[in-house]
Homo-oligomer: A and B are copies of this chain.
Amino acid sequence: MSTENPDGAGEHRPRVERVAVVGTGLVGTSVALALRNRGVDVLLSDPDKASMRMAYDLGAGRPLDDAEEEPPADVAVVAAPPEVVPQVLQELQDRGVAQVYTDVSSVKVRVVEGAEELGCDLATFVPGHPMGGREKHGPGAARADLFLGRAWALCPTGKADPGAIAAVTEIAHLCGADPLVLDAKAHDRAVALVSHAPHVAASTVAARLLNGDEAAMTLAGQGVRDVTRVAAGDPHLWTAILSHNATPVAQVLSEMAEELTATAEALRSVGKTGEAALEPVRDLMERGRSGQARIPGKHGAVQRPAYTVLPVVVPDEPGSLGRLFAAAADAGVNIEDVRIEHTPGLPLGVASLFVLPEAEGSLARALSADGWSVHPGR
């Protein structure tokens, strides 16, 4: 690692050329892919061999085990669940795998405490937390742009070496994220508020749905789907996250419980005391709208390209999608994504083809000429 900056100009950015990513789940593999995109040499390791192989097949890097004779990496990113981060860190530091270390777990105080207890070197460890995630997990769900335009919290302890902070800041930059330095306690309180407690609220709403009969579920729409989306996350992982940030999360949950109890009471008294009883309900709706408006817009300057969707009616039979994609390839158009809606009871479905806007016209014409039922502009 040198401190020369190939991009020139005043700013001194450390050059990060080789990074070990330890843990090839969603976040680790996404970091690895983002770094590979920037030409970084990435070394991969995971106790789960199948996960490791998939990350390797995706081009996320080469095996760390093959690099034992090489000099230490510039940075090692520990992408493991919070409960094992201190132990993994200790092992990596003992082996001298890298010059600088960071992690990507979503709680920070307990991770720092654990590292201190194990006697890890805190001069070279800069805890981090990139704010990208998905409810899917595993390397197959990884994306090089997972952190693009997102905040990346850095929580260096007082013992951290400035060079170590600079190197980990550069990791965030290379992944397209906005580094934000803050105290570990402030970080944990913040994520309790904007992530962990909202997750518990979503799980609570979703758990109630187990009480609904089939007819009730038929009436479920986009609203409850959005409110509960994150509840699809891994229960084991989330229990670990919540337990590692227990006190700040418990505080927010108690406040929410109080609010819900007061709202329930207000609604129950509508029949008795009339409209005046509704004041707390209206007040909650108003405060909710104000709070919702504080959430920053979709982060990031860099938007994904806006694709145009071209619906095509397809027979629901083997080979029909293959014929459709072959016809698109013949037209020289790359299908960026596809959604398929079946039409129950009919031998038909609708394939929604996501293509670049400039390709829509020629694709629609080519498919129509090939006999497909194409519905542009839907």
Residues of B within 8 A of A375 (CB): 50, 53-54, 57, 140
Is A158 an interface residue when CB atoms closer than 8 A count as contact?
A: no
Residues of B within 8 A of A243 (CB): 267, 270, 275, 278, 281
A208 to B287, alpha carbons, bound, how many Å?
9
Is A3 an interface residue when CB atoms closer than 8 A count as contact?
A: no
Is A201 an interface residue when CB atoms closer than 8 A count as contact?
A: yes
A69 to B317, alpha carbons, bound, how many Å?
37
B296 near A209 with CB under 8 A, answer: no
Name the residue in A59, A150, A345 with the highest tally of chain B Cβ atoms < 10 Å from its Cβ: A345
A257 near B267 with CB under 8 A, answer: no
A218 to B230, alpha carbons, bound, how many Å?
19
A144 near B257 with CB under 8 A, answer: no
| Binding stretch for chain B, among A85-93, A114-122, A327-335 | A327-335
Residues of B within 8 A of A204 (CB): 201, 256, 259-260, 263, 284, 288
A332 near B318 with CB under 8 A, answer: yes
| Binding stretch for chain B, among A6-14, A74-82, A164-172, A247-255 | A247-255
A342 to B54, alpha carbons, bound, how many Å?
15
A140 to B186, alpha carbons, bound, how many Å?
42
A348 to B281, alpha carbons, bound, how many Å?
44
A232 to B352, alpha carbons, bound, how many Å?
18
Q: CB within 8 Å of B: which of A333-378?
A: 333-346, 348, 350, 352, 373, 375, 377-378
Q: Give A33 Cβ to nearest chain B Cβ, in Å.
A: 6
Q: Return the contact of A296 from the options B186, B217, B238 (Cβ within 8 A).
A: B217
A228 near B193 with CB under 8 A, answer: no
A289 near B50 with CB under 8 A, answer: no
Q: Return the contact of A325 from the options B206, B284, B322 (Cβ within 8 A).
A: B322
Residues of B within 8 A of A285 (CB): 203, 231, 233, 235-236, 238-239
Residues of B within 8 A of A202 (CB): 227, 288, 292
Is A109 an interface residue when CB atoms closer than 8 A count as contact?
A: no
> In this complex, what residue of B is CB-closest to A236?
B282
A373 near B206 with CB under 8 A, answer: no
A313 to B140, alpha carbons, bound, how many Å?
9
Q: A253-B264, A267-B243, A328-B322 are in contact. Are A193 and B208 (CB under 8 A)?
A: yes
B295 near A255 with CB under 8 A, answer: no
B246 near A271 with CB under 8 A, answer: yes
A232 to B139, alpha carbons, bound, how many Å?
35
| Binding stretch for chain B, among A15-23, A94-102, A298-306 | A298-306
Name the residue in A195, A256, A288 with the highest tally of chain B Cβ atoms < 10 Å from its Cβ: A288
Q: Give A269 Cβ to nearest chain B Cβ, in Å.
A: 9
B282 near A267 with CB under 8 A, answer: no
A234 to B366, alpha carbons, bound, how many Å?
32
A341 near B140 with CB under 8 A, answer: yes
Q: A284-B200, A287-B210 are in contact. Are A215 and B180 (CB under 8 A)?
A: yes
Q: Give A264 Cβ to nearest chain B Cβ, in Å.
A: 4
Residues of B within 8 A of A336 (CB): 340, 342
Q: A227-B230, A243-B281, A282-B239 are in contact. Are A218 and B296 (CB under 8 A)?
A: yes
Rank and list the top 5 A-B pairs by shortest CB-CB distance, nearest first.
Answer: A203-B288, A322-B325, A235-B285, A190-B216, A319-B329
Q: Can you name 29 A-B pairs with beta carbons within 8 Å? A: A50-B377, A57-B373, A58-B350, A59-B346, A131-B221, A133-B222, A133-B223, A139-B378, A180-B218, A198-B205, A204-B260, A209-B295, A210-B291, A217-B295, A217-B301, A232-B289, A235-B282, A247-B271, A249-B264, A251-B264, A253-B267, A256-B260, A321-B329, A321-B335, A322-B328, A324-B325, A325-B325, A336-B340, A337-B339
